[in-house]
Amino acid sequence: MTDPNAIQPSALDQLPDRDPEETAEWQASLDAVAQQAGPHRAAYLMRRTLERAEAGGIALPKLLETDYVNTIPTSAEPGLPGDPEMEARITAWNRWNAAAMVTRGSKHGVGGHIATFASAAWLYETGFNHFFKGKEGDGSGDQLYIQGHASPGIYARAFLDGRLTEAHLDNFRQEAGGNGLPSYPHPRRLPWLWEFPTVSMGLGPLSAIYQARFNRYLTNRGIKDVSASHVWAFLGDGEMDEPESTAALALASREGLDNLTFVINCNLQRLDGPVRANFKIVQELEAQFRGAGWNVVKTLWGSAWDELFALDTTGALVRRLREVPDAQVQTYQTRDAAYIRQDFFGTDPALAELAKLLSDDKILECFHLSRGGHEARKVYAAYKAAVEHKGAPTVILAQTVKGHTLGDGFASKNANHQMKKLTVDEFKTMRDLLELPISDSQFTDGVVPYGHPGADSPEVRYLQERRAALGGPAPARRTHALAPLPAPAEKAFASFDKGSGSQNVATTMAFVRLVKDLVRDKETGKRWVPIVPDEARTFGMESLFPSLGIYSPKGQTYEPVDRDQLMYYKEAKNGQILNEGITEAGSMADFIAASSSYATHGEAMIPFYIFYSMFGWQRTADQMWQLGDQLGRGFLVGATAGRTTLTGEGLQHADGHSPVIAATNPAALSYDPAFAYEIAVIVREGLRRMYGEAKPGEDQNVFYYLTVYNEPLPQPAKPQGLGIDEGIVKGLYRFNTAESAGLSPAANAARIQLLGSGTAIHWALDAQKLLAEEWGVAADVWSATSWTELRRDAMEADAALLRGEERVPYVRQALQGAEGPVLAVSDYMRQVPDQIAQWVEQDYSSLGADGFGLSDTRDAARRHFGVDAKSIVVAALAQLARRGEVKATAVKEAREKYGL
């Protein structure tokens, strides 16, 4: 692994040595110390010397930074293979069509971004022509995380190679009518092209790291050898401000992910202005990545600067480049040569002398145009260094000009991110600059034309030949024709049908026990990917440690302190569990990589990610959207769920709302099971739907969210009768009646229907008994396993009605003929059960845990929120009293009796 503290020799290559003999003496002295006193003493002296220099005001690069020059000097650049002139013409066509697409779309008010791709064009083109492996070769190809705002350029290239038509381009950001192109990379909207949704800033870099890590996981576990795959993440320097962008840098270096390259487009601009106006973002990022252990390659200056560096015999130019803040570099881009001579070169006599040797044209060429990220040779050298580097991930810091080639009205302007179009005159200027054969007559009625050299042109043939040599088109997403996974043995699920007898079991434990049985399955057991953020013992998963092992690329290089115990802490290179430490974001990134492996690698994996319910959807809901966007499949499990169930933890741990957030995600099937057998039915159905034989019209690209509880309670046997499994899956079934519960109500007793989900059903069952024994009221108890699925089914029925189709919502069918009003209760805010209120024909009311959580016993918390059994009794009596079915005095009497 590269030493991040080493001063890179490439930086020294740019500095003149005015006294080689003196330099040799210093080097000999350092060698002598290292030989006689050891390398540690030599390193100590060097660090002390650097500290002394800094304290004395001597300008030196910091330990984690190199000078503001290219890491790879011109003399060390490899030759550019292929046909550079042909690639320049291809890039010109792509630049033109990207700008034309957005400009034409602006007439419809749909907007788009032009300047980002204009700055990054060569970063993509060099990769497409020489590095990015496609899906049609051996293995899985490379994984490309495209910067969201650069999507017009990717569409332009797909148009050039024949994968898109003009009709597609004219429907950029206009998807409703068909043939539309989504604004940004979006697998759900364009699943044959895009693999990864990236425009939610910061999630792309985070996901790329965990994708590279998951590739190693698949290889080390023997699922599939994907060691030839490389992950490329294209990012903006402004995007690096997002905390998720840098959250996992240490993981990438710690695990030596040399199958990963970040390419950061350092155009020095974010959405409103400079990224680091008074500082230097490249230097900041270099220090950050070097400090995290990454290999850093800076590609800052184009070939026009070579002459300037050759003339810099004193090092004054390198020093000046290091001190000029980014906002001033941006200003130079827009000013004339006289301004640059005065402001840049005029600050140092040596620089002033150097400037006398330069023409105005040379100065403008350097400061206006020549950036490392705009030259294929410079970019190729950086990419080649990245893929050949071993032992650590690489970040390429490529300096560009935002709005490059779009004209003076765009380049480096603070507002260029919001500028959506060019005028016809600006397009003509751009045409001349790019030397494209587009005539004035093609601008019909002021509409800019698309440009294409022809399907059989040398440019298109070259492009397609290069992609064929690299394994096919890119970017591309492939959904492999995978055989359905065989269903696990029924025994694993049926074992929950008989209940737990006299033993109390929390539903969290029931879920873990089910998974423990499923991972033993000979056919599918190896495909389970258990993910947990350093809370495995909280959820009772420590029994999985010795049997499955915790994944580590280094295996276990130490003897664990608990090695003599049955459930010792076992790490293994082929370990199955991903224990990520205290990072819900990292765990979700793991889940996303595993959940979409069926497409990325043609290997269906079954991830389940178990987490503190409160710290799932509330903390990482944006990643849940990313999961849905990426068509991921698997099981999210919110453990220690509910607002009153996790005793003593208080407000910050009390989840009363995760089902509400989950309900907003169309890809999430949200369940709140009450009993162990319900969990078994839901997981079995989830495995069938996502990985087995899909029913006609059924979307397999969904994921399941289950809330489970840490409250040990008796687990009843599964009720006998038809439709129980169907009711569990659809969201509602009658668990018992007053009669089947042995409560013997009077023939004319008032009756109410109690609907409960999750742990709340136990309060409903207690209330059922109190109502019968103390108030003569008959109550039937229903288990509402999914309020959200009931609502979605009802909304689909409403939509069918608008189409003239008669369809009755399932919730109405299930409750048809049920006597009396309905009272619903859960351990969540009332908004959760109220999702179904408008489709229930009976009088409907609900109870819930609205408000902030608190630290206390379960009983006290439930009384506080008014959801305990006695509160349910009072609410039920009040509902019946309003209907005249019990005396109004009963409500007051009950309140007084129960201390409410």
Determine the Cα–Cα distance for residues 318 and 69; give it in Å rounded to an integer: 7
Task: Return the percentage of the chain with pLDDT > 70, whole number.
Answer: 97
Q: Provide CB contacts within 8 A for 145, sequence distance 6+.
A: 196, 198, 204, 205, 207, 208, 231, 232, 233, 234, 235
Rounded (10°) CA dihedral 207, 668, 183, 379: 10
Strand 733-736 relative to strand 778-783: parallel, antiparallel, unpaired?
antiparallel
DSSP string over 659-670: HHHHHT-TTEEE
More confident: 521 or 412: 521
User: Which pLDDT score, from 0 to 100, does residue 13 have?
Assistant: 58
Q: Is the pLDDT at 267 greater than 90, yes or no?
A: yes
**Averaged pLDDT for residues 501-515:** 94
Residue located via tokens 């480049």: 321
Q: Is the pLDDT at 415 greater than 70, yes or no?
A: no
Q: Is the pLDDT at 449 greater than 70, yes or no?
A: yes
**Averaged pLDDT for residues 168-172:** 93
Q: Is the pLDDT at 315 greater than 60, yes or no?
A: yes
In whole numbers, what is the pLDDT of the chain averaged over residues?
93
User: Which pLDDT score, from 0 to 100, does residue 579 have?
Assistant: 94
User: Which pLDDT score, from 0 to 100, does residue 7 have?
Assistant: 43
Contact (CB, 8 A) for 782 and 735: yes
Contact (CB, 8 A) for 509 and 542: no
User: Which pLDDT score, from 0 to 100, does residue 419 have?
Assistant: 64
Helices (H) and strands (E) in the chain, counts: 35, 20
User: Which pLDDT score, from 0 to 100, does residue 61 have?
Assistant: 67
The candidate with the shortest Cα–Cα distance to 834, out of 807, 800, 888, 794, is 794
Q: Give the pLDDT band (50/70/90) at residue 2.
A: very low
Q: Is the pLDDT at 416 greater than 70, yes or no?
A: no
Task: Return the percentage of the chain with pLDDT > 90, whole number.
Answer: 82
pLDDT tens digit string along 355-402?
A: 999 999 999 999 999 999 999 999 999 999 999 999 999 999 999 998
Contact (CB, 8 A) for 741 and 768: yes
Q: Is the pLDDT at 478 greater than 50, yes or no?
A: yes
The candidate with the shortest Cα–Cα distance to 811, out of 779, 789, 832, is 789
**Averaged pLDDT for residues 573-578:** 96
The candidate with the shortest Cα–Cα distance to 894, out of 874, 880, 868, is 874
User: Which pLDDT score, from 0 to 100, does residue 291 have?
Assistant: 94
User: Which pLDDT score, from 0 to 100, does residue 446 have?
Assistant: 85
Q: Provide CB contacts within 8 A for 643, sequence distance 6+.
A: 654, 655, 656, 827, 828, 829, 849, 853, 861, 865
User: Which pLDDT score, from 0 to 100, does residue 649 have?
Assistant: 83
> How much is the CA Rg of the chain, to the nearest whole Å?
33
User: Which pLDDT score, from 0 to 100, does residue 12 have?
Assistant: 52
Q: Give the pLDDT band (50/70/90) at residue 296.
A: very high
**Averaged pLDDT for residues 711-727:** 93
User: Which pLDDT score, from 0 to 100, does residue 647 have?
Assistant: 81
Amino acid identity of 39?
P
User: Which pLDDT score, from 0 to 100, does residue 62 have?
Assistant: 64
Amino acid identity of 671?
Y
More confident: 61 or 656: 656
Residue located via tokens 């650049």: 77
Q: Provide CB contacts within 8 A for 445, sequence distance 6+.
A: none
Q: Give the pLDDT band (50/70/90) at residue 646.
A: confident
**Averaged pLDDT for residues 412-426:** 70
Q: Is the pLDDT at 539 greater than 70, yes or no?
A: yes
Q: How many CA atoms lie within 13 A of 591 on its CB side?
A: 31
Contact (CB, 8 A) for 556 and 571: yes
Determine the Cα–Cα distance for residues 440 and 448; give it in Å rounded to an integer: 10
Which residues in 245-375 belong to E strands, given as ranges? Answer: 260-266, 295-299
The candidate with the shortest Cα–Cα distance to 478, out of 137, 793, 749, 243, is 137
User: Which pLDDT score, from 0 to 100, does residue 65 have?
Assistant: 87
Q: Give the pLDDT band (50/70/90) at residue 414.
A: low
pLDDT tens digit string along 743-802?
A: 988 989 999 999 999 999 999 999 999 999 999 999 999 999 999 999 999 999 999 999
**What's phi and psi for 457, nearest 5 deg?**
-75, 160
Contact (CB, 8 A) for 347 and 190: no
**What's phi and psi for 634, nearest 5 deg?**
155, -170
Contact (CB, 8 A) for 711 and 645: yes
**Averaged pLDDT for residues 538-559:** 93
As a residue count, the chain comes to 900
Q: Is the pLDDT at 479 greater than 90, yes or no?
A: no
* Helix H or strand E encompassing 159: helix 151-160
Which residues in 336-400 belong to E strands, given as ranges? Answer: 394-399
pLDDT tens digit string along 842-894?
A: 999 999 999 998 999 999 999 999 999 999 999 999 999 999 999 999 999 99
Q: What is the DSSP letter of 150?
A: G
Q: Give the pLDDT band (50/70/90) at residue 4.
A: very low
The answer to which of 52-56, 390-394, 522-526, 529-533 has the lowest mean pLDDT is 52-56
Contact (CB, 8 A) for 546 and 555: no
